Structure 1
Amino acid sequence: MAHIDSVTIHVADTEAAERFYAKAFGLGDRLRFRAAQEHTTGFRGFTMALTVAQPSTVDDLIASALDAGATTLKPAVKSFWGYGGVVQAPDGTTWKIATSAKKDTAPATRHVDEVVLLLGVADVAASKRFYVEQGLAVGKSFGRAYVEFAAGSSPIKLALYRRRALAKDVGVSPEGDGSHRITINGGAGALTDPDGFAWHAAAPEPSTPEHP
């Protein structure tokens, strides 16, 4: 099955980005950075989402992100689906941190259960077909509104949302053009999807020498 090993965020200052993300979320090698100055305006068409176990973890991760230099797009609040909020990193990437739980049931931690790359697409059904053809297996599908692919052993899950709906969900205008400023690294190989999101083949893991 095709998978996502990591996501490369295109930033103006890689050292600053590395410091921010280490302090904010501590996601390790799931995030990579490339120096770039591509033209982009407004919404970049994607959001990174962190799914956690309880509200205290949401609050802790949002607080560390804000302390590291992020800005609030949506403060953390309770809703019918759980608890969560949205911040924007200094490089412009939007991050949604959420839980389906409405109250804490265990001591506070900073553990992230799931990292999800949400792509805002023009046609969910068409993008779904494209990714199924690349070998991704559908985990959940809600017509033309939302598709979530099975992550398997992948450290990052892929999901598709209508662009306008995703922008509304994270509290920004859907307008924007230019580069997405992101590259997806994984087992689908080198390709570009219908909405211009670029994939690069993940580097193969070093082989283990055979012993005689």
Structure 2
Amino acid sequence: MQFLSSNEADWERRHPVTLLFFLIAHLYVLVYMNGSVWLLIGLVGLLVLERRFPLGLTGVLLAFLVISMAPMLIGWDVSFNRIIRQLVQLATFLFGMVWVSRFLKLDRFLPLLAGWPRSTQLLFGAWALIPTMERAIRLSMKSHARNDWQEAIVVGIDSQRQEPVYRVPRSRRFEQHDLVPLAVLTGCFGATYGGWPLLWLLYPYLTKGGMRDALVIIRGYTRR
């Protein structure tokens, strides 16, 4: 479990350009290379090990399966192979996006929009912060009383009477050490494109912290 922490701190230090390339490559893998059952099994296994398996999405998959087989009730021919293939593709995409959401935050791409119009920055910033705000609100509702929430809402409304100052942080310069994760990303994507989809699931854990944790775990097993 320590190795599967994906080392969010290392991901926070990565350059937005590297994160953008990873997002594009990840979407390509999920959309065009999602017919692999092994990739789906790997995603499900990682989500279970990280205790983040989305049980709610299983209802979506069951609904898709029921709707796909509904024409059988009126005597239509249904291809079970195509249904299973589409079900695997849908499950791979949904589970893949849930899996990547842990260490790839959309607000990390805000520095790339520094030269864009302010309305675009505000729109993307609000959209990117929705998952973080939803999680924070859910946790706060469990840990705070209702009266505290009512007071917080009043304070929040009062603070919005004046137009808030919104400033997009500037992106740091792309330095030489940023080429290392980009090179590893290229290698993992090449291996995945060559027919090894499970290697793509290893890339997020190939960080300094992840390798250090892996060595500690391996040494612990070898000393037993």
TM above 0.5, yes or no, is no
Q: Give the TM interval when normalised to the shorter protein.
A: under 0.3
Higher RCO structure, 1 or 2 (CA under 8 Å, sep 6+): 2
Higher strand share: 1
Higher helix share: 2
Normalized against structure 1, the TM-score is what? 0.26
